[in-house]
Amino acid sequence: MLTNLQQQPADALLALIKLHNADPRTDKIDLGVGVYRTGQGDTPVFGAIKAAEKKLAETQESKAYLGPEGDMGFVEALMPYVFGKVDPTLGGRIEGMQTPGGTGSLRLALAMVKRAGVRRVLMGTPSWPNHAQICADLDLEMAGFNHATPDGTADMDALREVLRSAGEGDAILLHGCCHNPSGIDYENDEWDEIARLVAERKVLPLIDLAYQGLGLGMDEDAYGLRRVLVAVPEALVAYSCDKNFGLYRDRVGALYVMMGEEAQLAAAMSNGHALARANWSQPPDHGAAAVRLVLEDEALVREWLDELDTMRERIRQVRSRLAAAGKVGTLDLAPLGGQNGMFSILKLDKEQILALREKHGVYMAGSGRINVAGLTLGNIDTFVDALEEVTT
Ligand code: PLP
């Protein structure tokens, strides 16, 4: 029976990691994998998380099951950071549950919208590949629209066009900040327009916030999400703590649901809980419990936010240095300075990407996506020289 299963294509990024690991060159540069790196090339555990984990080991008295909603102390402690300190539940209309990472949250959100009768998911392209993979796995139809213009701004015309023909029964998947793979985010006035259009067309927003704090700042990165939520009756937010707490493999995320009225939340959330039960039953506890302990302790919150500031500043510094190189062969690196988060796309063809890898030991995704945090101040010039060589 199982021989009916067809060979699936290998995950290109995982294959790239293998190639990179096998490369003996000591000056190789890894711009493929999507994790933050320090100037020394490490992805360390946050100091605030280490302290919280120590506390957790000393104080946790049981590891008995918590339920499909996970650690609700974690879910609630995160809300003021996501939705704002003044009224983080928007008058009691938002409730959440813990999920295994942002991916678990997206899976649940998309399964929920399908159950609710959504037929189509509008999605800017290119997007993080797992968005389309989850939709395809759930048999949800996708309507792609162009995310960015050739000059490196958000393609608002394409968004307006797709929304013009959209309506009830459609959902729209939006990156809250630090767009993956392009780094091209909406400006605040563009978010204002998106909020108005989505509300007018009665399209259900699903906002993916996987990099809060790594773009312009914690509140700045939540501008679009908050703007959309006050404009519409219902919305979903898929949140990841895996980047902004450095918890990647511990799988920490949350799904938030906003309904028109508080009384409608119980029914909606019961679907989230039932879907979780049928998928992973209960989310893994450790990382979320550590985040909760950080958020419950003022000193640890300060330490966490300082660590996040350092990461954001380093990303900005690398971006500024790349942008300062300006025109490099056929590329213009200047727009990278105004983009946000870890990712940007370089307009390179397959041969150029291969030449970068083989001749220069520079590893990047086949789409031309680079993780700018993979660069250090010590190797940016080497990287720019390599780009110049393969593009001229
Ligand atoms: N959303 C986007 C845009 C991402 O880039 C990622 C991870 O790379 C995720 C969601 C999911 O993150 P995780 O499942 O690791 O929390």
Q: What is the pLDDT of residues 28-79, one digit of tens each?
A: 999 998 999 999 999 999 999 999 999 999 999 999 999 999 999 999 999 9
As a whole number, mean pLDDT of residues 273-280 equals 98
pLDDT at 283 over 90: yes
Counting ligand 1 atoms within 8 A of each CB, the residue from 36, 43, 103 with the most, and so the one to mutate, is 103
Q: What is the pLDDT of residue 12?
A: 84
The finding on whether 242 has its CB within 6 A of some atom of ligand 1 is yes
Instruction: State pLDDT tens for residues 138-196.
Output: 999 999 999 999 888 999 999 999 999 999 999 999 999 999 999 999 999 999 999 99
Cα–ligand 1 centroid distance for 391 (angstroms) = 31
Q: What is the pLDDT of residue 9?
A: 85
Counting ligand 1 atoms within 8 A of each CB, the residue from 242, 245, 248, 342 with the most, and so the one to mutate, is 242
Q: What is the pLDDT of residue 383?
A: 97
Q: Is the pTM of this model over 0.95?
A: yes
Q: What is the CA radius of gyration of the chain?
A: 21
ipTM: 0.99
Q: Please give the mean pLDDT across all residues of the chain.
A: 97
Q: What is the pLDDT of residue 277?
A: 97
Cα–ligand 1 centroid distance for 331 (angstroms) = 28
The finding on whether 101 has its CB within 6 A of some atom of ligand 1 is yes
Cα–ligand 1 centroid distance for 250 (angstroms) = 13
pLDDT at 5 over 90: yes
Q: Which positions are catalytic?
A: 128, 208, 243
